[in-house]
Every structure is written in structure tokens, then in C-alpha cells.
Amino acid sequence: MSDSILCLRGVTKSIDTGTHRVDILRGIDLDIAPGEYVAVMGASGSGKSTLLGLLAGLDSPTGGSILLDGTEISRLSEDALAELRGRKIGFVFQSYQLIPTLTAEENVLLPAELAGDTSEAAAGRARGLLVAVGLGDRRDHYPVQLSGGEQQRVAIARAFVRQPPVLLADEPTGNLDSKTGHQVLELLLALNRQMGATLVLVTHDPELAGHATRIVTLRDGLVVSDERKSAA
């Protein structure tokens, strides 16, 4: 679909164990529109984290095509892919992935700096995002000085600092208690609405998926359900 920001056609992913081949994804077709919030669900081993890694360009499909904003990412060189990923995709991991020797503000600003953007505007965005996630007064703190929920909020701010059109989140509340997890989810949803970013979130939690406008369920590497909520 021409209006899709993410378009997958016949996507497969297999690995060779040396003695046999394991088919992780077995032909995925998906169109995700700008601004959608899509929850990807499925049992352990269904292929959902593998799918997210392919969408992020962190891995390559065995077959099929993946288009990000009209560009087929599987055909790009590593340098071109890294540049596109830096502009178009924010990623939130379950394990936060903060640099322990950098402050909260420095962690948020890091993707911009890696892209060569050391402007005051980028620094201002980093500070503004920390305020938006409720950590304006913690910007000079190091990860070890922050709770798990605070570290995940720093990671979310970092994912948005380059204002990417797509945000991918892999079990972003998996290491958090229920209350903090819901706070993090509400923050993701608020930023999704305010910035218009497409949000694709992998989760095993039906309650978290219940906030999505669309739920895609995988089983054994196939899409077995694709449900959109009707407008209220």
C-alpha cells in the first residue's frame, strides 16, 4: 500500500543450525499506516521479536521484502541502512540499554550526536523530552542513580530525540512492576499521539495490547489474527 510507512511482503526468516533449518517467520504480509499503534502478540517462539528486529533493520530477512517509508531496507548497504535507521526508527528495549557512564541527558542526546547533530536544537529536544517523561530534574543523574522505571523513561526519550516516524518497542514494560509498566505505556501512548509516530509494540500482556488500535497475533511464524478496533 502506497500510504503504508511499513510494508512487508512474503517475509521469511530461517536459521541453519548445522543439522537442520529452523523457519522462524514463514511468510508475513503486513501494511502499517503512519500513526498506527500496533501490538504484536504471540507465545514464546512465535517470531514476534524476530519480526521486530527485521522491521528495525537489525537483521535481514531470508526472503521477501520490507519497505520503510517506501525504501526497501533489505537491499541497502550497511552504511545506508544505519543512516536510514537513525533517521526513521526509534527503538525501546526491554533492558533499557543505557550507557552507564553517561548522564540521563547525555544518553538521550546520544543518537543525535552519533548522527553528527551537535546543535543546540538537538540538546534542547533532549532536555524537553526529559521534561516530557517527567525527568527534567534528573537529567544530570547516571543510570545507576535511577529506578528501573526512570531508566525506561530515559530510553523512551532517547528513542524520540531524532523525531523518527516509527517507534519500535520490544516488551518495554517486561522488567517493570505493574504500576510502573502502566505509567511507561501511558507515556508511550502520549508521545505517539503528540508526535504522530507509528508505534509497533511487542508484548505478551493482553492488558497492554488492549490499548492498541490494532493487534497482530503470530503463531509459528505466521500471522493468525489481525484485528483493528472499530472507531468509538
> Of 94, 96, 122, 91, which is closest to residue 109 (Cα–Cα)?
122
Q: How confident is the model at residue 110 (pLDDT cuts 50, 70, 90)?
A: very high
Confidence band, pLDDT 50/70/90 cuts, at residue 41 = very high
Please determine, for residue 230, whether its predicted confidence score (pLDDT) is greater than 70: no
Confidence class for position 2, pLDDT limits 50, 70, 90: low
Has residue 120 been placed in a domain? yes
Mean pLDDT of 169-188: 82
pLDDT, the chain, mean: 89
Q: What is the pLDDT of residue 176?
A: 79
- As a 3-state breakdown, the chain gives helix, strand, coil percent values, each rounded to 5, of 40, 25, 35
Q: Is residue 60, in this structure, part of any structural domain at all?
A: yes
Residue 150 falls inside a structural domain: yes
Quote the percentage of the chain above a pLDDT of 90: 48
* Number of domains observed in the structure of the chain: 1
Residue 33 located in a structural domain: yes
The pLDDT value recorded for residue 92 is 87
Which is nearest to 132 in space by CA: 101, 177, 163? 163
* Domain presence at residue 162: yes
Query: Could you tell me if residue 1 is inside a domain?
Result: no
Q: Locate 138 and state its grid cell.
A: 534528573
Q: Is residue 45 part of a domain?
A: yes
Q: How confident is the model at residue 189 (pLDDT cuts 50, 70, 90)?
A: confident
Q: Look at residue 115 in the predicted model and tell me its pLDDT.
A: 84
Taking CA atoms, 101 is separated from 97, 140, 145, in Å, by 12, 11, 11
pLDDT value at 1 more than 70: no
pLDDT score of 224 more than 70: yes
Q: 46-65 burial, b if ≥16 CB within 10 A, otherwise e?
A: bbbbbbbbbbbbeeebbebe
- All three cell numbers of 86: 537513525
Does residue 198 register a pLDDT over 90? yes
Rounded percentage of the chain residues whose pLDDT exceeds 70: 98
pTM summary value: 0.88
Range of the domain at 11: 6-228
CA–CA gap between residue 105 and residue 120 (Å, rounded): 13
Q: What CATH number has the domain bearing residue 44?
A: 3.40.50.300
Instruction: Find the helix packing angle between 104-114 and 148-160, rounded to 10°.
Output: 30
User: Mind listing the pLDDT tens digit for each residue in 128-162?
Assistant: 989 988 899 999 999 999 998 899 889 988 988 88
Strand order in the sheet with 222-228: 89-92, 166-170, 198-202, 37-41, 214-219, 222-228
The predicted-structure confidence for 44-93, as pLDDT tens digits, reads as follows: 889 999 999 999 988 899 999 999 999 999 888 888 888 888 889 988 88
pLDDT of residue 11: 96
Whether 121 is in a domain gets the answer yes
